[in-house]
């Protein structure tokens, strides 16, 4: 994103995938080999047409992203799918392939984590020195990042207010991480449960995950960014991490490119599913910014604690989490709010919001799966049917790898 774009004029999408052994499905630290196969050098990013491939903190993770702002969501799923196919072709020479979802089901991060050792390594080593990145919350998590632009301070405030209000129920749509350390965790979104605790040494870095109610750049810098930089300084005297991206809230302001980056979305089984999730979210945010159901002033009044409480329940229970505050449902124009769940809110939003790009109905069909069969975590647990042995996990996660390779939805 660059200054000059206004609300919803373009989109930045980033998808992160694990690299695993084709036979065992164990993680393989080979992201640098993929990038080297394209450029002949260990570069941190390569441009592939409308997309770019880049490294992440852990060497077994590779990121695919739009190569600059995309004017529309239409067609992005197929562009990402083409890159998935090409990377899988490269990895075949190493007996490896890409795996979807937000967490590897049995990775041991203490034993298997290998950090990116090439360009940009100083930043990763700084994070590792301060936080010890061998934990699940650092090295075993794959997410979707959605970047949305704003052109003015007023637009920033309106977009930030809408994102804060919608964030608590995002896991009901996107959770895909019910398994960790080889067993069900009791959380639908284990990635977020670990993520929200991974900066405990410097609590201001992630805060309550739901951002504080600030709606101007001046207030954001004084209330969020400056406290982070201050608290990191004893651990980072060189200022290597003194940048906006050190902020680990679930949505962060990127004033360097006039965008807000949503970071709480788990990876789905294929790009089509990821883009369907994004499409539903963008449609809901557009309606909120347009004040279709409630005013901007109403949105600004929601306290972080109330939103964070709902967020934690949805992390734990997924779409089945009951929205206990009827005012939250009414903020989205719902009239039947008694006993409404997070999934009910999404079903309502799907009916009353106009999605941005249907891709000949493909997004609609993927959205139907998400809301009728459940988020991917629910479908994974249904497919396991109570089993948690290695063979059962491997069977289900191999099917997920096949869904990614073929660009198809996962059905329990």
Structure tokens at 412: 């329990």
**Rounded distance between C-alpha atoms, residue 252 and residue 262, angstroms:** 7
Question: Token pair 């994004």 is at which residue?
Answer: 278
Q: Distances in Å between the alpha carbon of 162 and those of 148, 297, 301, 411?
A: 12, 11, 11, 32
Indicate whether 41 pLDDT > 90: no
pLDDT digits (tens, 9 = 90+) for 287-323: 999 999 999 999 999 999 999 999 999 999 999 999 9
Q: 14 pLDDT band (50/70/90 cuts)? A: very high
Indicate whether 55 pLDDT > 90: no
Indicate whether 140 pLDDT > 60: yes
What pLDDT, on a 0 to 100 scale, did the predictor assign at position 195? Answer: 84
pLDDT digits (tens, 9 = 90+) for 71-119: 999 999 999 999 999 999 999 999 999 999 999 999 998 888 888 676 6
What does R_g of the chain's alpha carbons equal in angstroms? 20
Give residues with Cβ within 8 angstroms of 213, minimum separation 6.
161, 164, 300, 301, 302, 303, 304
Q: 272 pLDDT band (50/70/90 cuts)? A: very high
Indicate whether 360 pLDDT > 60: no
**Rounded distance between C-alpha atoms, residue 235 and residue 241, angstroms:** 10
Global pTM? 0.94
Q: 42 pLDDT band (50/70/90 cuts)? A: confident
Q: Which domains, from first to last, does the chain contain?
A: 12-403 (3.30.590.20)
What pLDDT, on a 0 to 100 scale, did the predictor assign at position 43? Answer: 84
Output the CA torsion 319→266→139→93 (10° steps): 130
Average pLDDT, the chain: 92
Arithmetic mean of pLDDT, 327-348? 95
Question: Token pair 């809408």 is at which residue?
Answer: 162
CB 278 within 8 A of CB 367: no
* Exposure class string for 322-338: b at 16+ Cβ within 10 A, else e: ebeeeebbebbebeebe
Arithmetic mean of pLDDT, 238-243? 80
Distance of CA 401 to the CA centre of its chain: 19
**Rounded distance between C-alpha atoms, residue 118 and residue 59, angstroms:** 10
* 36-45, 194-203, 267-276, 395-404, range with the lowest pLDDT: 194-203
The total number of residues shown for the chain amounts to 412
Indicate whether 132 pLDDT > 80: no
Residue 261: closest CA among 340, 169, 154, 143: 143
**Rounded distance between C-alpha atoms, residue 43 and residue 36, angstroms:** 7
Three-state secondary structure readout of the chain:
CCCCCCCCCCEEEEEEEEEEECCCCCECCCHHHHHHHHHCCCCCEEEECCEEEEECCECCEEEEEECCCECCCCCHHHHHHHHHHHHHHHHHCCCEEEECCCCCCCCCHHHHCCECCCCCHHHHHHHHHHHCCCCHHHHCCCEEEEEEECCCHHHHHHHHHHHHHHHHHHHHHHCCECEECCEECCCCEHHHHHHCCCCCCCHHHCCCCCCCCCCCHHHHHHHHHHHHHHHHCCCCCCCCCCCHHHCCCCEEEECCCCEEEEEEEECCCCHHHHHHHHHHHHHHHHHHHCCCCCCHHHHHCCCHHHHHHHHHHHHHHHHHCECCCHHHHHCCCCCCCCCCEHHHHHHHHHHHCCCCCCCCCHHHHHHHHHHHCCCHHHHHHHHHCCCCCHHHHHHHHHHHHHHHHHCCCCCC
């Amino acid at each position: 994103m660059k200054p000059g774009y206004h609300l919803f004029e373009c989109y930045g999408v980033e998808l992160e995938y694990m690299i695993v052994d084709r036979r065992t499905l164990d993680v393989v630290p080979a992201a640098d080999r993929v990038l080297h196969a394209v450029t002949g050098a260990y570069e941190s990013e390569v441009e592939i047409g409308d997309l770019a491939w880049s490294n992440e903190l852990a060497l077994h993770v590779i990121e695919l992203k739009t190569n600059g702002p995309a004017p529309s969501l239409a067609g992005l799923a197929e562009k990402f799918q083409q890159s998935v196919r090409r990377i899988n072709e490269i990895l075949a020479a190493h007996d490896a392939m890409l795996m979807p979802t937000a967490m590897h089901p049995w990775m041991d991060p203490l034993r298997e984590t290998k950090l990116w050792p090439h360009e940009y390594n100083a930043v990763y080593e700084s994070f590792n020195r301060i936080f010890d990145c061998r934990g699940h919350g650092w090295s075993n998590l794959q997410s979707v990042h959605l970047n949305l632009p704003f052109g003015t301070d007023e637009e920033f405030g309106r977009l930030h207010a809408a994102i804060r209000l919608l964030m608590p129920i995002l896991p009901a749509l996107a959770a895909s991480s019910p398994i960790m350390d080889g067993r069900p965790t009791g959380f639908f979104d284990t990635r977020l449960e670990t993520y929200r605790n991974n900066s405990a040494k410097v609590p201001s870095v992630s805060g309550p995950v739901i951002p504080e109610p600030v709606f101007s750049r001046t207030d954001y810098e004084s209330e969020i960014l400056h406290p982070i930089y201050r608290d990191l300084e004893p651990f980072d005297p060189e200022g290597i991490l003194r940048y906006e991206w050190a902020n680990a809230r679930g949505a962060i302001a990127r004033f360097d490119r006039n965008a807000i980056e949503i970071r709480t979305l788990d990876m789905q089984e294929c790009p089509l599913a990821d883009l369907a999730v994004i499409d539903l979210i963008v449609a809901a945010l557009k309606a909120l910014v347009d004040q279709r159901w409630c005013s901007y002033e109403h949105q600004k009044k929601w306290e972080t604690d109330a939103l964070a409480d709902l967020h934690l329940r949805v992390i734990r229970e997924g779409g089945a989490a009951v929205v206990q505050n009827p005012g939250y449902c009414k903020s989205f124009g719902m009239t039947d709010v008694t006993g409404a769940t997070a999934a009910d809110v999404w079903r309502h939003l799907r009916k009353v919001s106009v999605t941005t790009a249907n891709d000949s109905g493909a997004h609609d069909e993927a959205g139907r799966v998400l809301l009728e069969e459940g988020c991917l975590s629910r479908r994974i647990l249904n497919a396991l049917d109570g089993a948690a042995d290695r063979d059962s996990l491997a069977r289900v996660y191999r099917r997920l790898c096949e869904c990614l390779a073929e660009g198809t939805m996962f059905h329990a």
